[in-house]
Amino acid sequence: MSKHSQLNFFLPTLWEVISDRTIFYGWDFLRPLIGRNIFWASVNWQDCGQKNLPKGYSGYVVKTEGPNVEWIEKQAHLVDAPIFICQLYKDYGTFDHLPNVHFIPTIEWHYQFDQMQKVYDAKVEKNPQYKFSALCHRATQSKILVLTTLAQYIGLEQCLVSLHNVQEKGVHYWQKTNNPVVDQCMQYFLENFKDKNILIDDFNNNNKLQVYNFHHSAYTDAAINITNESFHYSYMIINNKEVTLPGPFITEKTLKCIMSETAFINNAQFDTYVTLMSLGFKFDYGFNLEYDNDSGNISRMIAMLDLVKTLCKINTQDLYEQTRDSCVHNKEYVMSGDFYRTSEAINQRGIETILSKL
């Protein structure tokens, strides 16, 4: 596996001028910006608290870790040249009030799929003996709700779940929401799981190759995976303004479901299924996924949990069989290269937009 240690599954942090010495990490559609005095900033949450874009450039290509709207708004008032947000796929009008900010729909999921295929055998052995799987390395409100719902409505013995790293800031310091479902789940978690770690195996979240392993039992041995994505907020109020955050934010947690031919319940930002369907994927699972069209964070989570409670009553093998056609279609769509070509075409349109505005 050592030959794969330098694989980049996604764009790393960058803070440089795009030049003929630039390493593009798969983002080769940006090569036409060489020699145009364009600054490239790919920043994580820590960088966003410490860095500001340098002045004096003809334009800025920016990617933030998650939809960091506040940092981008701050940068828009610090520099005069156009800022191109090359991140995620939909902006929901978030930056319309900032004339020098241009949202450029960008996809890198196909790069990640490509790297995953270089490391792991594409063929998976399915053994759906558990109804649900749900991994939780960094506990957040949405992930805790899933764990407690599974514990109460089906029993964890029928599930593959993990639980690590419960920090009070990640669950809003246990503040009540005045929603009876959420508050009951949080109280149940406090009484039963707060000081527990639940392990499936020796999985190491710091091992990049393990993180992208779609042969893990959570995907091969469960009929449905609840994605428990890193970021689940959509509708927010920022600086006294109503905002629907750009998205959907999708990581390896969802991509592994597609590569492992596993149906998934989206526990993340809203609009995930519709977005993926618009790109060629299919989710004819035989149950209602309308909850994912609700941008409200609490209301969407409650509707998701209602769906999980309903699916708890269905036989595991039946769930596996009724979702199988869509899972096979999605895997074949990736393996054929069609999704890669679709994504590259979108990114190509993105660079054309950037060049038109310089």
Which pairing describes strands 222-226 and 130-134: parallel, antiparallel, or unpaired? parallel
Instruction: Give pLDDT tens digits for 100-149.
Output: 999 999 999 999 999 999 999 999 999 999 999 999 888 889 999 999 99
Q: What tens digit of pLDDT does each residue of 144-171 get?
A: 999 999 999 999 999 999 998 787 887 8
* All residues at 6 or more sequence positions from 333 whose CB lies less than 8 Å from its CB, including other chains: 280, 281, 339
Domains and CATH numbers, the chain: 2-107+340-357 (no CATH), 114-337 (3.40.50)
271 and 283 Cβ atoms separated by less than 8 Å: no
122-136 as b/e: b if 16+ CB within 10 A: eebeeebebbbbbbb
For the record, the structure tokens of 302 come out as 């409650």
Q: What is the pTM of this model?
A: 0.94
Tens digit of pLDDT for each residue in 59-96? 999 999 889 999 999 999 999 999 999 989 999 999 99
